[in-house]
Structure 1
Amino acid sequence: MNTTFLPNRRRCLALGSSLAATLALPGLARAQAAWPSKAVRFVVPFAPGGSSEIVARTTAFELSKALGQSVYVENKPGGAGNVAMQEVARAEDQHTIILGHIGTLAVNPYIFDKLPYDPVKDFKPVSLLAKVPSLYLVRPDLPVKDLREFIAYAKKNPGRLNYGSAGNGSAGHLAMEYLKMVSDTFILHVPYRGTGPQLTDLLAGRLDAASVGAPAVMQFIKTGKLRCIATGTTQRLAQLPEVPTVAEQGFPGFEMTQWYGVLAPSNLPQAAVDKLAAACASSVKQPASTEKFNAEAAIAAGSTPAEFARFIATEQQRWKAVVARAKIKPD
């Protein structure tokens, strides 16, 4: 057998393979650029209404324009958000995303003995969308005008003050327990089943204090039905410029905000994740979005996947300590 031309044959085969791969690259690039190729399902793991609804629908409206495909919101409440998180973690259509939240990502891992999802392995962080300030409130006839006086009053009257929350492990529960931890104060916790019943008793004076997301209580603060003694933000809110932050009142570095971001199942290709992240960051900064957020005292964010991943990790460490100290368990 004549083997003179084998090296040339091998070179030809190699060149042919290389040429085929080169020709395939535009097709691959088009496939990646084509995402999304159909409508995107945006799951919200809570019941309709409240801050999550505002953030999700505002973002979805702008995302539809940025991505060139419909982005529709689907509420799927249950199990402190665990039901929706489990379903989306297993989604294989590559067109399902979910609204991540302080509870499902930074709290549930520490209050549930076993989760039906892994917040790190089952999802890819996409972008932080918005932060919703937690406000610290008291009934208007409580003899305190700011947080310093509230803490002094609580220490002078141990066991006399109580606070309400929307339930064990809720953002309001965490916010008050975080304040109790840094101020070394005891205040009795009264859990409710939802923000509505809690606010009813706070407004009626049957509760002394609470921490609630800004959108639900701004109207009551403005009309004097509730007194805001501090904000959990790092800077004062434009809507409440006269109210100092917790950090300003003796607790440097303190921050308590509810936050929302987009997560995708771990099987979504990184190119699609990056495209979605850029679209999310742009969407929440659009004038129409910021106008809606400002009306609810929400703060638009927008981030890269790496930035959101670091943010989640930091929040997990913060709330792990609070949950352990307060021995918080789900209802």
Structure 2
Amino acid sequence: MHNPHITRRSALLGAAGLGLGAAWPLRSQAQAWPAKSIRFVVPFAPGGSSEIVARAAAAEMTKLLGQSVYVDNKPGGAGNVAMQEVARAEDQHTIILGHIGTLAVNPFIFDKLPYDANKDFRPVSLLAKVPSLYLVNNDVPARNLKEFVALAKAKPGQLNYGSAGNGSAGHLAFEYLKMATGTFITHVPYRGTGPQLTDLLAGRLDAASVGAPAVMQFIKTGKLRCIATGTPQRIPQLPDVPTVAEQGFPGFEMTQWYGLLAPASLSQGALDTLAAAAAKAITSATAVDHLTKEAAIAVGSTPAEFARFIGVEQQRWKPVLARAKVKPDN
């Protein structure tokens, strides 16, 4: 039997229920994040400093978040391929390793980028800084930077150096050194740190600048010679290696850095959870110990601090890139 009062009351309750239903999943999602495994994209080939930093952070974040954080290497296009993919990720469980190259270099050397470094991502935390080391293979007759500069000036263009690709941190670091020392050394770009190190170890390359974590093992075993560090002070892991600044080029500093980014679409609640976990993970005793052994420096920051840091780095590198006429790989 039709009762208009019952119908109206049911409709009101139904509407209220719909209202609750619409709001409740948002709250439960915020509380439940992460609801599944988190894909941590590294936009470079395996075997470099980026992977070492990412794995140190991922292992500790897995413990803190209660869901697996797994590293997925996705190289290509100076990091642009992975950055574009993650910028568009809508699943709330995809994050990416940001880096000096993808955030402070690519915006100034590519005519058209498939992502906007400042609008498509939310900075989460600055994870680590990595000293840039200047290396030669054992056949190069230079024991230190002064001897290497003298050799390069005696043979302009005859010495070569490798990098992980045009616009990579190693490319920047060596171009920066060339500017400071007034030398002409031929650049040989590779597709990643791993292939570049293979040729440096084999003697097919004379020199390179590489982030410390990727090469400490080769320096310690005497397979490569470190002629200078790009840090303001000597690093404890290589106390006998003087800085570039100490060897006649005061004020010289070159360090790589890595941080965590999320797509701009990540909810604020998830970002807050992720940022707290990332900062805590990278500064945990286990991660710090792991990174220190590899001569990397754990940082950990708030999203706002990382955002400011990116802005400062963009302003620092823009004029250097213009001066060095750095162009991306074709």
Q: Would you call these one fold, judging by a TM-score over 0.5?
A: yes
Change (3 A) 1:194 1:45: closer
Change (3 A) 1:248 1:314: farther
Change (3 A) 1:204 1:43: closer
Report if aligned partners of 2:48, 2:194 keep a CA contact under 8 Å in 1: no
Residue by residue, what CA displacement relative to the aligned partner does 1:76-124 show, whole Å, maximum 9, x if unpaired?
A: 2222221221121112222221111122111211221111110001111
Amino acid at match of 1:298: A
Query: After the TM superposition, which of the residue ranges 89-98 and 36-45 deviates more from structure 2?
Result: 36-45
Give the distance between the partners of 2:200 and 2:83, measured in 1 at CA: 32
Give the distance between the partners of 1:302 and 1:179, measured in 2 at CA: 28
| 2:293 corresponding residue in structure 1 | 295
Query: After the TM superposition, which of the residue ranges 195-204 and 285-294 deviates more from structure 2?
Result: 195-204
Report if aligned partners of 2:46, 2:194 keep a CA contact under 8 Å in 1: no
Q: Does residue 130 of structure 1 match 2:149?
A: no
Shift of 1:52: 2.1
Listed as ranges, the matches of 1:196-215 within 5 Å are 196-215=194-213
Query: After the TM superposition, which of the residue ranges 137-146 and 170-179 deviates more from structure 2?
Result: 137-146
Give the distance between the partners of 1:200 and 1:120, measured in 2 at CA: 35
| 1:308 corresponding residue in structure 2 | 306
Amino acid at match of 1:81: G
Report if aligned partners of 1:181, 1:322 keep a CA contact under 8 Å in 2: no
Q: Identify the match of residue 263 of structure 1 among 261, 267, 270.
A: 261
Q: Identify the match of residue 116 of structure 2 among 109, 115, 118.
A: 118
| 2:244 corresponding residue in structure 1 | 246
- Partner SS state of residue 254, structure 1: coil
Amino acid at match of 1:268: L
Query: After the TM superposition, which of the residue ranges 142-151 and 105-114 deviates more from structure 2?
Result: 142-151
Change (3 A) 1:72 1:108: same
- Partner SS state of residue 260, structure 1: strand
Q: Identify the match of residue 137 of structure 2 among 131, 136, 139.
A: 139
Report if aligned partners of 2:41, 2:96 keep a CA contact under 8 Å in 1: yes
Amino acid at match of 2:59: F
Report if aligned partners of 1:134, 1:175 keep a CA contact under 8 Å in 2: yes
| 1:7 corresponding residue in structure 2 | none
| 2:159 corresponding residue in structure 1 | 161
Residue by residue, what CA displacement relative to the aligned partner does 1:169-203 show, whole Å, maximum 9, x if unpaired?
A: 22221110011122232222222344344334433
The unaligned stretches of length 5 or more in structure 2 are 1-22
Give the distance between the partners of 1:61 and 1:284, measured in 2 at CA: 9
Listed as ranges, the matches of 1:220-235 within 5 Å are 220-235=218-233
Residue by residue, what CA displacement relative to the aligned partner does 1:116-148 show, whole Å, maximum 9, x if unpaired?
A: 110001111110111222210123343432223
Q: Identify the match of residue 83 of structure 2 among 78, 81, 85.
A: 85
Report if aligned partners of 1:213, 1:258 keep a CA contact under 8 Å in 2: yes
Give the distance between the partners of 2:194 and 2:85, measured in 1 at CA: 28
| 2:103 corresponding residue in structure 1 | 105
The alignment's C-alpha RMSD in Å is 2.7
Change (3 A) 1:34 1:113: same
Percent identity of paired positions between Structure 1 and Structure 2: 77
Q: Does residue 45 of structure 1 match 2:26?
A: no
Residue by residue, what CA displacement relative to the aligned partner does 1:17-58 show, whole Å, maximum 9, x if unpaired?
A: xxxxxxxx9998776444334332222222333322222222
Give the distance between the partners of 2:44 and 2:216, measured in 1 at CA: 22
| 1:326 corresponding residue in structure 2 | 324
Normalising by structure 2, report the TM-score. Answer: 0.83
| 2:178 corresponding residue in structure 1 | 180
Query: After the TM superposition, which of the residue ranges 131-140 and 99-108 deviates more from structure 2?
Result: 131-140
Shift of 1:156: 4.3
Query: After the TM superposition, which of the residue ranges 192-201 and 234-243 deviates more from structure 2?
Result: 192-201
Listed as ranges, the matches of 1:276-295 within 5 Å are 276-295=274-293
Query: After the TM superposition, which of the residue ranges 46-55 and 118-127 deviates more from structure 2?
Result: 46-55
Give the distance between the partners of 2:43 and 2:195, measured in 1 at CA: 21
Give the distance between the partners of 2:69 and 2:194, measured in 1 at CA: 29
The unaligned stretches of length 5 or more in structure 1 are 1-24
Normalising by structure 1, report the TM-score. Answer: 0.83
Query: After the TM superposition, which of the residue ranges 92-101 and 302-311 deviates more from structure 2?
Result: 92-101
Change (3 A) 1:74 1:198: closer
Change (3 A) 1:233 1:270: farther
- Partner SS state of residue 119, structure 2: coil
